[in-house]
Structure 1
Amino acid sequence: MMGRINKRVLNLITAGAAAFLMAGCSVAKTSNNNGTHQDKDIIKIGVNMELSGAAAGYGNAEKQGIQLAANEINQAGGINVNGQKKKIKLIIRDNKTAIATSASVAAQLATKDKVAAIVGPATTNAGTAEIPNITKASVPSVSPSATDPSYTLQKNGKVQPFVFRACFQNNFQGENAAKFVTNNLKAKRVAILADNSSDYGTGLAKAFRKTYKGRIVDSQTYSEGDKDFNAVLTSFKSKKIDAIYVPGYYTEVGLIIKQARQIGIKIPIIGSDGMADPKLAQIAGDKYATNIYYTTPFSTRVAAKNATAKKFMTEFKNHYNVEAPTFSALAYDSVYMIKTAIENEKSDDSTKIAAGLAKIKDFDGVTGQITVNKTHDPEMPIAIEEMTNGKVSNSFSVE
């Protein structure tokens, strides 16, 4: 998921902060190859996360998954580093959903705190901002939810050596949503209403258009913060469409669903993992959140067949007294991917962890079996959830 940064937040970034970010980019293009080294008894893992600002809902869900994983690992004795058990020490910092802050947080974690690895950020833009500083320090980062296809790649097309993610790309989501609309919903006439605030919504819409076999009757966009969608929805209603594809985040999509249902649009509304949050139904209203579908890397119904996922869901519910959300599951897997890399490489040196992350194969994650490919992207399953009366009522595995 996750490419958007709040435009209002961007407008508040000062010229000095922007200059700092550009300076960081100019001096941090290559790794120093030395990496960071850990203390005798602990392994420091940094968390660069959106805990306030526009993406705080996602960031705080990911923080919960990170903390649960670290607590579990520590209670089991820690991470095995060449025969020695070492406990995880989390160093959690808020990037405030701001690119300049994300860059400075990454520099602090990598060079001052000397963490072995970083989990986060949640969004592609904040994640991209940290890349120069983690590369300079040779510290790997695993984002639970940065989904832009170019996130793990340099401008020349080569892989970013210290950048990894635990989620699939936007184009994979858009393609599978189109297949589902074509094959499962049998929708022959579709309208698209996409978030144009970032590459997240526009990238998903592009992938959907490329794969969808029916007719796209109309295609419109909206911006982050928009609240009135009645005009465009009324236009859609007059065009005899079979479904609406709405790639975006729960904040706006919840309102779109509510307003669509209020004017009598009852057809399926399909979206992306940005909808995979309980707040979607809170905004839309339970009675309106019916005949809703979205792509997701983690479905509780699909996961119920997976022993690793079942254990996670039970422990999450016991710990936080709520059902485990998608972004907590992705973050939980991110921590265990770092653990796996350390144990496979028999080293907690940050450069060795990066090498270990690149070699992960058939990792048994909460979100399914994961293999990291040559572009540092996980090859993993995707699911589609259906929502009825504000609750997940069905799920579909997509091949």
Structure 2
Amino acid sequence: MTPKNTLKAVITATSLGLVATSAMAESINIGFTGPLSGGAALYGENTLSGLRMAAEEINAAGGFDLNGEQVTINLVALDDRYSPAQAATNAKRLKQDNGVSAIFVPHSGGVFALQDFNEKDDFLVMAYTSVPTVTEKGNTLTLRIPPTFDGYVRAFTDYAMNNLGTTLGMAGATHEYAKIWDEMIQQTWEARGGTVVADNPMDYNKSADFYTGVSRVIAENPDVMFVGGASEPTGLVIQQARQLGFQGGFIVMDQAKIDEVAQVAGGMDMVEGAVGVVPLSVYETEAATGFIERYQANYGKVPGSEAAYNYLALHALVEAMDMTESTDPTTVRAAIGEALLSMDSSKNPYEVHSVTENGGFVTVTTLAVVENGEIVRKEIE
């Protein structure tokens, strides 16, 4: 076992319940830092569940061969409460104490914080964020897992202005990712000839009472409200907007998923007229439906895109390690595209088959709208 491969022997089951196939099996540590407490805890747990499921499948199959040794995956997860500073601290700990070669992080603030030192410290940032600049900064050890949101901004704006109205009230969140969305959607909305009548961002992670902030937005009588953070607080914002009498439509930031939002808000009728990303539950491909069935059997609920994207990303990461017989971050990063093509299709619910030169997984952009109480998938022209 060489230092280059940063292998760490583990002979007991991990605290996350990942079962080794042999008492003598070795494992490599993969890191995660994300919100596991606070207002975004559900979002963090959903992300982590996809990684857990992938790791359990890999280990149940006997792991994979690395330099002639059979190894399994040991997932080490730390709570950062959505704090970029804590994410950076966690990453330092994961690298120093656990020798990880890759760290999954599901928020842009955390991604940017890790990018300040990941090349020097030699680990891959597995970024679950759709902020375009994540892969435009030239960081050679970053992989962006979901598609960038600039395509969503244009598509959501065009649909809303053509079908819901031309005045927009901003009621988004205050974390870094939401601020970027806020700025971009305001610019796009006004460039299309619409009017932004209110802008009142709120802290989705620390509050459950949004009545005051929402009332300030709907007092300006917008046709459409922009909302979005994690699904759970987004559902509360929409619920409280309806309770205060708002009858317009919603543009839902891609971090929130319409089906999950509807459950919190009180039903699909509460999100009538919403436009957002297509929930995984709407996909009908064999890979997607198979993943949903397996996930439901494990966790008793329908998975969201956080689980599915991170599930396929860990499988691709391990496939790249298997192909190259290395955990060296640079070597693995270079092999990800080939790994996506060669991995078992059942492990790829979003059918991602390529990666851009700057490290972005390539996924077809679509949108979903709620019409007559049902989520309907629309193609983006």
Range class of TM-score, shorter chain: 0.7 to 0.9
Corresponding residue for residue 393 of structure 1: 375
Cα 1:74–1:392, aligned 2, differ >3 Å: closer, same or farther? farther
Corresponding residue for residue 119 of structure 2: 135
State the shift of 1:387 in Å: 4.3
Contact 1:249-1:275 within 8 A present in 2 as well? yes
For residue 190 of structure 1, what is the amino acid of its counterpart?
T
For residue 241 of structure 2, what is the amino acid of its counterpart?
A
Secondary structure of 2:132's aligned partner: coil
State the shift of 1:350 in Å: 2.9
Secondary structure of 1:266's aligned partner: coil
State the shift of 1:37 in Å: 2.5
Contact 1:38-1:116 within 8 A present in 2 as well? no
Contact 2:35-2:41 within 8 A present in 1 as well? yes
- Name which of structure 1's ranges 262-271 and 208-217 shifts more when overlaid on structure 2: 208-217
Contact 1:298-1:383 within 8 A present in 2 as well? no
Cα 1:106–1:361, aligned 2, differ >3 Å: closer, same or farther? same
State the shift of 1:50 in Å: 1.9
Of 276, 292, 295, the match for 1:316: 295
Corresponding residue for residue 352 of structure 2: 369
Of 202, 206, 219, the match for 2:179: 202
Distance 2:67 2:159 in 1: 46
1:175 corresponds to 2:157: no
Contact 1:384-1:395 within 8 A present in 2 as well? yes
Counting only pairs closer than 5 Å after superposition, residues 29-68 of structure 1 correspond to structure 2 as: 36-38=5-7, 41-68=26-53
Distance 1:50 1:35 in 2: 30
Corresponding residue for residue 13 of structure 2: none
Counting only pairs closer than 5 Å after superposition, residues 52-131 of structure 1 correspond to structure 2 as: 52-81=37-66, 85-119=70-104, 121-131=105-115
Cα 1:45–1:248, aligned 2, differ >3 Å: closer, same or farther? closer
- Name which of structure 1's ranges 359-368 and 309-318 shifts more when overlaid on structure 2: 359-368
Secondary structure of 1:244's aligned partner: strand
Gaps of 5+ in 1: 1-33
Instruction: Name the structure, 1 or 2, with higher relative contact order (CA <8 Å, separation 6+).
Output: 1
What CA deviation, in whole Å up to 9, does each residue of 1:232-273 have, x standing for no partner? 213215xxx3x3333444455334422433344333222122
State the shift of 1:284 in Å: 2.2
What CA deviation, in whole Å up to 9, does each residue of 1:81-111 have, x standing for no partner? 4676432122222223323321122112223
Contact 1:290-1:388 within 8 A present in 2 as well? no
Contact 1:191-1:216 within 8 A present in 2 as well? yes
Contact 2:164-2:249 within 8 A present in 1 as well? no
State the shift of 1:334 in Å: 2.0
Corresponding residue for residue 28 of structure 1: none
Contact 2:174-2:202 within 8 A present in 1 as well? yes
Cα 1:63–1:248, aligned 2, differ >3 Å: closer, same or farther? closer
For residue 137 of structure 1, what is the amino acid of its counterpart?
D
Cα 1:374–1:271, aligned 2, differ >3 Å: closer, same or farther? same
Contact 1:134-1:140 within 8 A present in 2 as well? yes
- Name which of structure 1's ranges 44-53 and 212-221 shifts more when overlaid on structure 2: 212-221
State the shift of 1:172 in Å: 2.5
Distance 2:230 2:75 in 1: 28
Output the TM-score relative to the length of structure 2. Answer: 0.80
State the shift of 1:117 in Å: 1.8
What CA deviation, in whole Å up to 9, does each residue of 1:376-398 have, x standing for no partner? 12221233233479x75332243
Gaps of 5+ in 2: 9-24
Corresponding residue for residue 149 of structure 1: 132
Secondary structure of 2:200's aligned partner: strand
Contact 2:140-2:358 within 8 A present in 1 as well? no
Distance 2:243 2:39 in 1: 27
State the shift of 1:324 in Å: 0.9
Output the TM-score relative to the length of structure 1. Answer: 0.77
Secondary structure of 2:131's aligned partner: coil
Secondary structure of 1:274's aligned partner: coil
Distance 2:169 2:309 in 1: 28
- Name which of structure 1's ranges 246-255 and 99-108 shifts more when overlaid on structure 2: 246-255
Distance 1:35 1:103 in 2: 23
Contact 2:171-2:225 within 8 A present in 1 as well? no
Corresponding residue for residue 235 of structure 2: 254
Distance 1:173 1:385 in 2: 11
Of 311, 319, 339, the match for 1:340: 319
Task: Extract structure 1 runs of 4+ deviating beyond 4 A.
Answer: 82-85, 209-212, 358-364
State the shift of 1:300 in Å: 1.6
For residue 53 of structure 1, what is the amino acid of its counterpart?
G
